[in-house]
Structure 1
Amino acid sequence: MTPQALNGIKVLDLSRVLAAPGCTQILADLGAEVIKIERPGEGDETRQWSPPSFADGTAAYFATVNRNKKSLTVDMAKPEGQALLRQLAAAADIVVENFKVGGLKKYGLDYDSLKQSNPGLIYASLTGFGQTGPDAAKPGYDYIIQGLSGLMSITGPADGLPHKVGVAVVDLFAGLQLTIGIQAALIARAQTGLGQQVDVSLLDSAVAMSANVGMNCLASGSVPPRLGNAHPNIVPYQVFEAAHGQHLILACGNDKQFAAIGRVMEQEWHTEPRFATNPQRVAHRDELVPLMQAVFAHKTRDEWIALFEAAQVPCGPINNIAEALAMPQVQQRGMVVDFAAGGSPVKVLGNPIKLSATPVQYHSAPAALGAHSDEILRSLGYSEEQICQWRADGVV
């Protein structure tokens, strides 16, 4: 079997929903053994976030971030469950959790408790607001954080309501940040032998996501406006409407490309001082954009795209999700993974990380609730009698 980057790394996954499970799925894709802890009888709440579901009843939402993991049901409210989880943590390299700050302390599953028996443990916490600060105790939700962070204030039509992004982008971005932090901690542990806590919050992640728009605010002292499909720093860099109500994206990154746009559209805009450079175009966008839109109405979307591509001007259509998933490029890059060969009807979106020597692997579809409970408990040395008793008592 092809080696993977995280072979031999053991992860105890106490997280649920999207952000932190997205992190542990990446770790599993890269070869780590991930044991997902779920509540007996209920499991991760996203198991019920349907329709749609696949033919075996797996909710599409749950399948988004739970492939390549083992599922063990444990009731951490019971002393026996707490002891079992502490045993698993003592042998783990990484614990990932997304409980409220301090929520695991009463179970003896907080970082300070677990590091006593496992000083090399990397304890990754993902919360709404972080482990410190005046809002640390508040719960966090992607939608709320999109509003708090300013992200919604710059998303949507310039003259309409603020919009959220179409997917839970803060959750997903925070999960990536948590993954990066864990991998940095693994490298540090290789040098020192000691673990550490990785503290990532949705709010911090969303503020970092403001990127150039946040920097515009810091540099100018002004509140960035909502520009719809336009760009705050580059013009023309937006959606235009072609003939028959079709739309395309034009992404002009420099003055050379703008001159090429003028040639394609049979205009001399680039020779005018008010449009000759990008700063001038930004200052005069309200004059330039209507002039361009009037010309775009004369040809279809595909006609314009063919002309711009021939002139090496960045442009493209606006696909729906089905069109995007059907693109030959997306298919060839393995961004749709079918588990049919393993007897599962589930299909998932692929991992975008391509490693030449230690590639991502897809070895198992999202597991049924508690599918690996007996296997894991036996590996820890528990007898069939003990397992049956715990099941009867609701511990597992």
Structure 2
Amino acid sequence: MGALTGLKILDFSTLLPGPYATLMLADLGAEVLKISSPTKGDIVANYPPFIEDSRLSANQAWLGRNKKNIFLNLKSEKAIDIVKKLIEEYDIVVEQFRPGVMKRLGLDYETLKKINPRLIYCSLTGYGQTGPMKNNAGHDINYLARSGNMSYSGRKSTGPVLTNMQIADIGVGSLHSVVGILAAVNYRNTTGKGQYIDVAMFDGLIPFHAMEGASFLATGVESKREETRLNGGSMYDFYETKDNRYLSVGSLEPKFWKNFCECIDLQNLIEKTVMPENVSEIKEIIKNRLKEKTLNEWMDIFKGKDVCVEPVLNMREALIEDEQIKAREMVVEVKVPNTDNLKIKQMGSPIKLSECPVNYSEGGYPLGYHTKEVLVEMGYTEKEINELFKDEII
């Protein structure tokens, strides 16, 4: 029994934010049924590489883990009727269309809650359901830019930098959807009432300003690149080593800074602190010192010392070789459906529960795989299913 056994979720989302949110819920035991278009592809689910001898992309095998999925042409009235029947049982909806799309389809919250008043309905979009930008298209880079976070990120010489991490998509969209849904489930357990959840990836990046945002709102003074404690205005930074690798130095507190300076044999810098007045001058001294040895040589020196220094690992070093990741079971082996016990490595769940740990039963199936199975469970006959297929509804 999983922590979320008993929750039944209809997932209309595509790309990454919604599918990762429902993956987290599915890993924890929720029953997730993903609804996809039979004609419009999902660029993330269909993004190569594909697993050998299968019709599965690595992304679909991961994001579809522990889920069922069906094809429905939502432009058809018969497909809408199928969804409305499902809503009697699946009382949580996750959708990621632009505002107004689900209403035009007749699948908006106000319509569906008449069928099931306990319905919890989560809409995940870029800019939310209200405001002048609600219908704007956007991607991670756009939300990071407009939120103001990139105005003091990066280097003075280069400006903002790309991270190749979907910060808004996963760090906001996926996680805030999960938090919102579970909060609504708790409220429903207490009151019996469902509700509507409006999650905007843009909104969630505003608190990412954290201490800098709180300071600005109190003083009106804007942060600038390489002038704050965490954006290059202190010794907290990345440093290149002799073999063109990089170290991350996070020695902010006095005890860590002292230990760091002793390890690199620059004890005279201890009293200058991690954020001296002449930052660029001291940083140049440290850069030159760290260039004298290779990454492994430095890590041998720092080993066992309380310094908050770690190497910048490549993907193989992190996801395959790193002992901490192994110990935390953050890479797991999952069976590929419809194969003779073929298993692939996937990123695991970061949530560790003692009484009901995550169960990785199977990787994701190809999109649309469970269409007939679900319809049969709903009571549709073979003839009716063939007609739906003929009419391109499924």
Regarding TM over 0.5, the answer is yes
Q: Return the letter of the residue paired with 2:289.
A: V
Residue 236 of structure 2 is aligned to residue 237 of structure 1 = yes
Residue 287 of structure 2 is aligned to residue 293 of structure 1 = yes
Unaligned 5+ runs, structure 2: none
- 1:340/1:194 CA distance change after superposition, 3 Å: closer
Distance 1:259 1:385 in 2: 77
- 1:41/1:345 CA distance change after superposition, 3 Å: farther
Aligned to 2:174: 175
Q: Per-residue deviation at 1:25? A: 0.8
Q: Per-residue deviation at 1:73? A: 0.6
CA contact (8 A) 1:155 1:165 kept: no
Structure 2 counterparts to residues 122-137 of structure 1, below 5 A: 122-137=120-135
CA contact (8 A) 1:248 1:315 kept: yes
Q: Per-residue deviation at 1:346? A: 4.3
Aligned to 2:373: 375
Residue 51 of structure 2 is aligned to residue 54 of structure 1 = yes
**More displaced 10-residue stretch of structure 1: 11-20 or 297-306:** 297-306
Matched position secondary structure for 1:310: coil
1:290-310 per-residue CA deviation (whole Å, 9 max, x = no partner) reads 222232233332232222233
CA contact (8 A) 2:15 2:45 kept: no
Q: Return the letter of the residue paired with 2:194.
A: G
Q: Per-residue deviation at 1:211? A: 2.3
- 1:25/1:219 CA distance change after superposition, 3 Å: same
Unaligned 5+ runs, structure 1: none
- 1:266/1:142 CA distance change after superposition, 3 Å: closer
1:338 to 323, 333, 336: 333
Structure 2 counterparts to residues 309-388 of structure 1, below 5 A: 309-326=303-320, 327-340=322-335, 343=339, 344=342, 346-388=344-386
- 1:91/1:229 CA distance change after superposition, 3 Å: same
1:284 to 242, 253, 278: 278
Structure 2 counterparts to residues 163-312 of structure 1, below 5 A: 163-173=161-171, 174-227=173-226, 231-232=230-231, 235-270=234-269, 272=271, 275-276=272-273, 278=274, 281-312=275-306
**More displaced 10-residue stretch of structure 1: 173-182 or 341-350:** 341-350
CA contact (8 A) 1:236 1:250 kept: yes
Structure 2 counterparts to residues 383-394 of structure 1, below 5 A: 383-394=381-392
Q: Return the letter of the residue paired with 2:312.
A: I
Aligned to 1:24: 22
Q: Return the letter of the residue paired with 1:162.
A: P
Q: Return the letter of the residue paired with 1:194.
A: K
CA contact (8 A) 1:122 1:185 kept: yes
**More displaced 10-residue stretch of structure 1: 136-145 or 39-48:** 39-48
CA contact (8 A) 1:90 1:117 kept: yes
1:217-248 per-residue CA deviation (whole Å, 9 max, x = no partner) reads 33442332233997248732111223343321
Distance 1:153 1:64 in 2: 34
TM-score (norm. length: structure 1): 0.91
Q: Per-residue deviation at 1:161? A: 3.9
Q: Return the letter of the residue paired with 2:217.
A: L
C-alpha RMSD over aligned residues? 2.3
TM-score (norm. length: structure 2): 0.91
What is the number of residues matched between the two proteins? 388
Q: Return the letter of the residue paired with 1:114.
A: L
Q: Return the letter of the residue paired with 1:44.
A: D
**More displaced 10-residue stretch of structure 1: 310-319 or 215-224:** 215-224
